[in-house]
Amino acid sequence: MTERPPRAAPSRGTVRGVRSTDWSHLLDVLRERRRGIAAAVVLGVVWTGGKIAVPSLTRVAIDRSLETGSTAVGWALWIVAAGVVTGLLTAGRRYLAFRESRTVEARLRRRIHDHVLGLHMGFHDRSQTGQLMSRMSADLNQVQMFVVMVPLTVSHVALIAGVTVVLLVTDPLLALVALIPLPLITMVAKRFSDAIHPAVLAVQSEQAQLSSVVEESISGVRVVKGFGAEQVRLDAVAVEADDIQRVSLDAARVRARFLPLMELLPGLGLIGVLGIGGLRVLDGAMSVGELVAYNFYVTLLVWPLRSISMTLAFGQRAAAALERIDEVLSVAPAIVAPSEPAQLQASGGGLKVELADVHFAYGDATVLHGIDLTIDAGTSVALVGGTAAGKSTVARLLLRFYDPTAGSVRLGGIDLRDLDPDDVRRNVQMVFEDTLLFHDTVAANIAFARPDASPADITAAAAAAGADFIDDLPEGFDTVLGERGYSLSGGQRQRIAIARVLLADPAVLILDDATSAVDPAKEHEIRSAMATAMVGRTTIVIAHRPGTIAMADRVVLLDGGCIAAVGTHDELLRTEPRYRAVLADDDGAR
């Protein structure tokens, strides 16, 4: 199976003018919340009834008091009653609308988060943290604002429909005049939404780019400070900030072109009613009260029409946001469990690891050219090779972070593709070359792969990894580490990472340059613990120090993505010049 083309890669400048919004994710979530949303819509529609009642009551009040010369107090009381009802309904509708929209937002956020967390490495290699963060914040925000408007908009549409009916019943001809703007507004609205879509997409994409630059600058602040590169990063942020300003002005120009039309077209109806209705009153075909009510109704249309134009604008932003969210959600995980995964036979003595004619390319660049390697259960191998030889790539294939482009990787005799990736990873554990700790206690970090481990186990693993410094930390194992473990020294972090895998007790253990920042004295100490840990499991060490390499039963020399030689350390040292070169053995440092 090959890498799926990274359609989701939210690369710089993902601005696509074409509209292909997939609303299905939103619809799914909306469906889950249909009760609340329906309730909000119902309240909104009833509220519309209240709103329509007010001008009707006003009309009756005016006509009656002009006819009979009585005061309008009685009618006014009715209006107050209508006010109480609409007040309550507004509160209810608003509450429901916000509750549902916030819930929808939260659910979508969880959905994106959960999806992304399960995606293959090929996706993560290409995506930017800041971009993904922006999907889960800024973009969702747009969706939320749109969902809030849904019940309100439905009730506004109902209002427009209700008013239309009332107008038509009262006076069909005048109604036609009053409603002339409606089709015009619809036309303008259509054109508006076509024009604003790319502009809005551009704004959101620029915001996400800013978020990426900021994220990197803050995460990499130690380097920025070390080189005094604050100005460079500030310039980068300024570029993005300018971009945001520019595209957002473009969007504003589009709005300026269409929104005023949509807001003012209802005025045409008012003018028509005044002119034609006025003439009809003069002709005696209509009462003054009727004309006023007519006017009132048409006025009632103004705000809903305006707010619909606003909803359209929000809808466009939400559509743009959903499109960007969809780019992420529609990435199918490339590494998945088969429908009927094979079962690993966990024996006490580790698992056999085989690579059979494995080829691998990250995108176009082929990195491994046919690796054949069998590591028997319970034995150990040191992978040695120059910088960029492909050592870590081999390790990643064993974890099934990627699938090989050709050939197969087998664990316990079973092709990894026939196994559940979780099962693979429970059995194959690796210390990564760059250690990453979480913002949590030392104990939780060590127990990361085995959250149910007892404190005694955790302490034992820490001791085996030579992490004795933990006792000196202010709160021992309960000390909360800074973000990414930055409150520990480099070697201390690596030892926590080693303790983590030792505790996980995997059948296959991979150490990718796991002691590069550990001082030699300490490494020497850890080594005896490692030797114990290697008993009864298959071990792959990637290392550069002869002492560590020599712990392994065999040494495999990788060169340019091929296996150049296999043998013991001493053999290779004697026979293989390339091996001597990698270890700089001519250096005479011994």
Partner 1 sequence: MWGGAGVAAEDRLDAAETRHVLRRAARLARDQRSTMLATVGFIAMATATTVTGPLLVRHGIDAGIRANDRGALGVAVVGYVAVVLIAWFGARRQYVMVNIAGEGFLRSLRLRLFAHIQRQSLGFFDRHQAGVLISRMTADIESMSELVQWGLLQFVSAGILLSVAVVVLTVMSWQLTLVALCVLPVVIVASVRFQRDSNRAYLRVRDRVGRNLSMIQEHLAGVRVIQASVRTAEQRRRFADNNDELLDAHMTTVRISTWYFGVVEFCGVLATALGLAAGGWLVQTGRVSVGTVVAAILLLASLFEPVQQLSQLYNTVQSATASLRKMFDILDTEPEIDEIPGAVDLPRSGDLVVDGVGFTYPQTTARVLHDADLHIVDGERIALVGATGAGKSTLAKLVARLYDPDPDTGSISFGGVDLRRATLASLRERIVVVPQEGFLFNGTVADNLRLARPSATDDDVWAALRSIGVAERFAAMPEGIHTEVRERGSRLSAGERQLVSLARAALVDPAVLVLDEATSNLDPGTEAEVERALERLMEARTVVVVAHRLSTVRRADRIVVCEGGRIVEVGSHDDLVGRIDGRYARLAQAWEANTNTSAG
Ligand X SMILES: Nc1ncnc2c1ncn2[C@@H]1O[C@H](COP(=O)(O)OP(=O)(O)OP(=O)(O)O)[C@@H](O)[C@H]1O
* Residue choice 128, 134, 316, 392 for contact with Mg ion (CB under 5 A): 392
Footprint on residues 486-515 left by Mg ion (CB under 5 A): 489-490
* Using rule CB under 6 A, residue 125 touches ligand X: yes
When binding is defined by CB under 8 A, the residue of 38, 79, 337, 562 that contacts partner 1 is 79
Cα→Cα distances 424→2, 396, 429, Å: 19, 12, 9
Residue from 8, 136, 149, 414 touching partner 1 (CB under 8 A): that is: 136
Task: Say how many Å lie between the first and final Cα of the chain, rounded.
Answer: 47
How many CB atoms are closer than 10 A to CB 506?
21
Residues 40/43/48/49 CA torsion (nearest 10 deg)? 160
Distances (CA, A) of 466 to 167, 246, 459, 509, 540: 85, 55, 11, 17, 20
Cross-strand pairs, 503: none
Distance in angstroms (rounded) separating the CA atoms of residues 433 and 487: 18
Give Cα separations from 362 to 4, 383, 516 (angstroms): 11, 20, 25
Tell how many helices (H) and how many strands (E) occur in the chain. 21, 10
Using the rule CB under 6 A, is 466 a contact of ligand X?
no
User: Smaller CB distance to ligand X: residue 203 or 397?
Assistant: 397
Cβ proximity to partner 1: between 43 and 355 the closer is 43
In the complex, least distance from residue 562 CB atom to Mg ion, rounded to whole angstroms: 16
Q: How many residues does the chain have?
A: 590
Residue 125 interacts with partner 1 (CB under 8 A): yes or no: yes
Query: Binding to ligand X by residue 337, rule CB under 6 A?
Result: no
**Per-residue x/- marks for ligand X, 386-415, CB under 6 A?**
-xxxxxxx----------------------
CB 527 within 8 A of CB 550: no
CA atoms within 13 A on the CB side of 453: 24
Choose the contact partner of 299 out of partner 1, Mg ion, ligand X, none; CB within 5 to 8 A by kind. Answer: partner 1
315, exposed or middle or buried, with CB in 10 Å at 0-12, 13-18, 19+?
buried
Report the site for ligand X in 185-244 (rule: CB under 6 A).
none
Which amino acid makes up residue 445? N
Does 517 participate in binding ligand X (rule CB under 6 A)? yes
Closest separation between CB of residue 338 and ligand X, Å?
25
Count of CA atoms in the C-beta half-sphere (13 A) of 581: 10
Each residue 29-58 as x (binds partner 1 by CB under 8 A) or -, in order, gives -------------------------xx--x
**Binds 75, which of partner 1, ligand X, Mg ion, none (CB < 5 to 8 A, cut-off by type)?**
partner 1
Q: Is residue 218 near partner 1 by the rule CB under 8 A?
A: yes
Pairing of strands 353-362, 406-411: antiparallel
> Interaction with partner 1 in 475-504: which residues (CB under 8 A)?
482-484, 486-492, 494-495, 500, 504
Binding range to partner 1, per CB under 8 A, among 172-180, 212-220, 345-353, 408-416 = 212-220
Residue 460 CB, shortest distance to partner 1, in Å, is 18
Residue 472 interacting with partner 1 (CB under 8 A):
yes
Give the footprint of ligand X on this chain (CB under 6 A): 125, 362, 365, 367, 385, 387-393, 433, 486-492, 517, 519
- Contact residues toward Mg ion (CB under 5 A) are 392, 433, 489-490
